[in-house]
Structure 1
Amino acid sequence: MKTLASHRRLGHTLALALTLGAIADPAGAQLPAVQTQGEVHYLSGGIGSDESEAIKAARDAYSLTLTLAGKSEGRDVYLSSVPVTIRDAAGHTVLEVTTSGPYLLVELPAGRYEISARYAGEEKKTSASITAGKPQRLSLLWPRANAQPQAGAAASTTSPAIGLSAGAGLATGTSTGTGAAATTVATAVLPAAASAASGALPPINTQGGIPYLSGGIGSDESAAMKAAASRYSLSVTLAGTQDGRNVYLSSVPVTVTDANGGVVLDVISSGPYLLADLPPGRYRVSARFQDEEKSAEARVAAGKSARVSFLWKGKP
């Protein structure tokens, strides 16, 4: 026999589904799946321009929207894989999840709640007063996100995931490393046309005479990095799988060695893309995520761009 509470939950679920179905998404993007914990409905995601826009369009259908972000090298970055806990006024945990993107949308009953989230060992807290018909939007910002460790410090292998649109795959023309090694595909360099989004590129750094840049978080920067990839002799893409969909990764240690085993580049990525301008030659590219290392050989030739893609299956 169905209880009154179960009828209420069913009615709320149907109402929520109808509300979301009525939201027009010009990109036709699919929202992440609505999930339930106890009697609380929620969804999380939002990196990748289509999914991000779909979630923004759905915010008013939920009583609480939480945005998770940080600062890296003076620019804003979105965060994912962040543990979030929501407790009611009595101190009872009503939701405890790890985010799948920078947005967490939650449908909560009216009342007062305490929200806590932890990133890179630092906990942030805030409170929310939920009133019927008045959606709350809150943000948590970590001043230092994805920062490279100081010399001699151990590199963290726990990285925030940067989400693709649900069901999206890796870019066509790249090869995916699923075993001990990955392969590379060399593509002809396209004309160096100015990118409309070139202003969104992260700053170019230099290590041992090798210019490089890393980023790709947010739709503008991602588009700018893709447009710039053909102007660099090496392009590395870092991705994993989570809940059956591909997600981009950040804060991944990447090392490039030459044919003699000498290290020519040793960095921690600031997003899913790493672009480097290497002299012609043979190189070994290695990356480590959650204690699993992948490597690939890259043959860099004048006028061509070598592209390497690493995919960690079942992670994060």
Structure 2
Amino acid sequence: MGLRGPMAPAEANALQLWRVRLLVKSILLLFLLGLVGSLEAKSVAQVVDHVEIHHPGEGTFSYTIPIYQVGHIRFLSAGVGVEERQATYPPYSLKLVFVEGVRAFLTGVSVSIRDAQGQLILEIPSEQVTGPWVFIDLDPGTYTVTATRRDQVRATKQVTVPAQGTRVVYLHWPKE
């Protein structure tokens, strides 16, 4: 089921194809960046695992959501459709939720996270934010989270990540 109701098989297949293409493009981009050598190896996100999502019903299929890693920090983006909203995800310490207005979820948001000393520890490009949720496995501590939409609108929050459990943070943009 999508955000507007049940997802037709053709729509579901298109979503699966889109995710596969995005994954292939992301892997190609990472490969090219590695060849150029303009980034440190630890700052390039690599796909290290995945979460499998099952779409039940007629024309049953499944697809995977990539789990990326930069240094020791893992993250994933999800939350599109009912299947993803009901799925079980790794117990990461921070969950970001991107919202426009009161209820509309957003995707394609870039994220940067700085530690308490102001050191940039993670940058997630908008191409890797394919859903309105981003789960990040951060060590306990205080961080500044900055999310940018369309290279203009910014949402910044100071966040304290607990030693146990998941901190959920909503980042809001005004309705356009």
Tell me, yes or no, whether TM beats 0.5: yes
Distance in 1 between the 2:155 and 2:103 partners? 17
1:73-112 matched pairs, under 5 angstroms: 73-74=19-20
Could you tell me which residue of structure 2 aligns to residue 249 of structure 1? 106
Residue 234 of structure 1, aligned match among 94, 99, 104: 94
- Equivalent in 99, 105, 121 of residue 264 of structure 1: 121
The structure having more radius of gyration, on CA atoms, is 1
Select the structure that is richer in helix: 2
Q: Is residue 202–residue 221 contact of structure 1 (8 Å, CA) maintained in 2?
A: no
1:66 & 1:257 partners in 2: Cα distance? 38
Structure with the bigger RCO (C-alpha within 8 Å, sep 6+) is 2
Give SS of 1:199's match.
strand
Which residue, out of 73, 76, 85, partners 1:222? Answer: 85
1:212 partner letter: F
Deviation track 1:240-277 (CA, whole Å, cap 9, x = no partner) reads 13xxx622111110111111111222113121010011
How far residue 217 of structure 1 moved from its aligned partner, in angstroms, is 1.4
Letter in 1 for 2:73: I
Counterpart of 2:73 (choices 185, 190, 210) is 210
Deviation at 1:199, TM superposition (A): 3.2
1:297: which partner in 2? 158
Deviations 1:140-162 (A, max 9, x none): xxx559x669558xxxxxxxxxx
RMSD of aligned alpha carbons? 3.1
Give the 3 Å change call, closer, same or farther, for CA 47–73 of structure 1 in structure 2.
Answer: closer
The residue that corresponds to 1:306 in the other structure is 167
Aligned to 2:2: 47
The 1:282–1:66 alpha-carbon spacing in structure 2 relative to 1, beyond 3 Å, is closer
Once residues 68 and 203 of structure 1 are traced to their aligned partners in structure 2, the CA distance between those partners, rounded to angstroms, is 18
Change (3 A) 1:73 1:264: farther
Between the two proteins, the alignment pairs up a number of residues equal to: 139
CA drift at 1:228: 2.8
Structure 2: tracts of 5 or more residues without a match: 39-50, 54-63
1:117-174 C-alpha deviation (Å, 9 max, x unpaired): xxxxxxxxxxxxxxxxxxxxxxxxxx559x669558xxxxxxxxxxxxxxxxxxxxxx
Residue 304 of structure 1 deviates from its aligned partner by 2.8
- Residues 283 and 298 of structure 1 are in contact (CA less than 8 Å); yes or no, is this contact kept in structure 2? yes
Q: Give the Cα–Cα distance (whole angstroms) in 2 for the partners of residues 289 and 280 of structure 1.
A: 27
Q: Which runs of 5+ in 1 are unaligned?
A: 1-45, 57-64, 75-142, 153-197
CA, structure 1 residues 66+280, in 2 after alignment: closer, same or farther (shift >3 Å)?
Answer: closer
Percent of residue pairs bearing the same amino acid type: 24
Q: Is the 8 A contact 1:281 1:300 kept in 2?
A: yes
Q: Partner amino acid for 2:97?
A: T
Dislocated runs of 4+, deviation >3 Å: 65-73, 147-152
* TM-score normalised by structure 1 residue count: 0.39
